[in-house]
Amino acid sequence: MNKKYFISLSIAAALTIGSLPTLGTTANAHSSVEELQKQQEGISSKKEEINGKINEKKSQINQNINKQQEIQSQIAEISTKLKDTETKIAEKSKEIDETTEEINKLKEEIEVLKQKIEERNELLKERARAIQEKGGSANYLDVLLGADSFGDFINRVTAVNTIVSADKKIMDEQKRDQAKLEKKQEEVEGKLADLESTKASLESLKKDLDSQKSKKADLFKQLEAQQASLEVEKKDLQTESDELSKMEHQLEGEIQAEQARLAELARQREIERKRQAEAEAAKSAAAQQQATNSSDSTSTAPSAPVSAGAWTAPASGTITTNFGWDVLNGKKRFHYGTDIAARGSVPISAAADGYVIKSHYSSSYGNVVYITHSINGQTFTTVYAHMASSSVSTGQAVNKGDRIGYMGNTGYSFGQHLHFELHAGSWNASKSNAVNPRLYINF
């Protein structure tokens, strides 16, 4: 890895670790998230820059590969030319050898001819000397005059002419043969010179091609080394990019954790605010209920009788609203429970054995208790709303008929009553599991 890579990682690590905000105080919470996001943006920017360099290295590597392929093609072309040139040199060398052999043969023929010419010259010289010693043409006259008859004279004349013609022919043939051999020798020597010149040119071309091939091979090696270096640089950049991705992912996790912590703090503050509001409302409702109970009656009504079986009525009183569709304040609505109304201090009992899953104050339900039940393997949930007060707490076990509080007028209510719901399953805000309590309880 290069030095630049370690420096960039060190800076990023220092930014990530050294500048993390203290998460112990709410006052610095939002600023810590902003700081983490700034660090994340810085890392993303650095990563984008490095990825750009990686793409640049990839482009350089591709260009290098293209150059290598081009050099290889050129080397192959030069090798083909070299092979062709070497073939031609071999052909010319063979022709030179053949021509040299031909020249040597001609030289031998010329030597033989020269020998014959020399012999002919000696013969002519001998004849010339004989003629000169005997008086030149007189000898030929003696030959003619020495004829015994006219026929012999004619024969002698013919013989003399024949000798003279033969000598002249020998001299002419000698000149022609000598000129022919000299011309052929000149042609062959010219051909040999041309061949040697061509061979020299081919050898020069081969030398030049060898030099070109050597240079191309050196350039190819340089490109290979350059490519190896580019690959290492690209790998270092990719490693740096991967490390930055890890840091970016880590920061994202820290940001999400911090945002979740802030959301939890906000939720806890909201819960505390609601708890305080509910406590104040409960206190006010209890005071109002106490005043109502004092004005209505100071007596406590008896608890509803406990029925046999798994279920029992939760309170004594009059059914004012049943489960199903009804009209409230001139508007049609679906009522998910059964309302039981009574005056005085009216106890409310658990409708079946179970566990209290929630007991708190709600702006709509007022003081409300939720109890879960398991009856014959099936889960049910009962809801007791608008109570004046609750005498049970979350997690508490209750038996059928146990007192859990008193009827009241808390929350969104228009008079003292118990709003009782029965759910076949868990309770949910949409009340999709709500069923008619009369299916299980006799009121």
User: Is 93 a member of any domain?
Assistant: no
Asked whether the whole model's pTM tops 0.85, one would answer no
Domain count, the chain: 2
Which CATH number is 324's domain given? 2.70.70.10
Nearest-angstrom CA–CA distance, 345 and 388: 9
Percent of the chain with pLDDT over 70: 76
User: Is 282 a member of any domain?
Assistant: no
Do 193 and 305 belong to one domain? no
Q: Which helix (H) or strand (E) holds 434?
A: strand 434-435
395 backbone φψ class: left, alpha, beta (φ>0; ψ -120 to 50) = left
Q: Which residues, at least 6 apart from 113, have a Cβ–Cβ distance to it below 8 Å?
A: 177, 178, 181
User: Is 328 a member of any domain?
Assistant: yes
User: Is 25 a member of any domain?
Assistant: no
Say what the pLDDT of residue 249 is: 85
Say what the pLDDT of residue 128 is: 61
**Lowest mean per-residue pLDDT among 240-254, 256-270, 388-402:** 256-270
Say what the pLDDT of residue 33 is: 76
Of the residues 151, 173, 205, which one is the last residue of a structural domain? 205
User: Is 249 a member of any domain?
Assistant: no
Of the residues 174, 205, 236, which one is the last residue of a structural domain? 205
pLDDT over 80 (residue 134): no
Do 313 and 426 belong to one domain? yes
Do 306 and 431 belong to one domain? yes
Strongest mean pLDDT among 144-153, 275-284, 341-350 = 341-350
User: Is 184 a member of any domain?
Assistant: yes
User: Is 266 a member of any domain?
Assistant: no
Of the residues 161, 179, 205, which one is the last residue of a structural domain? 205
Do 307 and 428 belong to one domain? yes
Nearest-angstrom CA–CA distance, 17 and 34: 15
Of 152, 158, 160, nearest in space to 131 by CA:
160
Range of the domain at 114: 101-205
pLDDT single digits (tens) 387-404:
999 999 999 999 999 999
User: Is 200 a member of any domain?
Assistant: yes
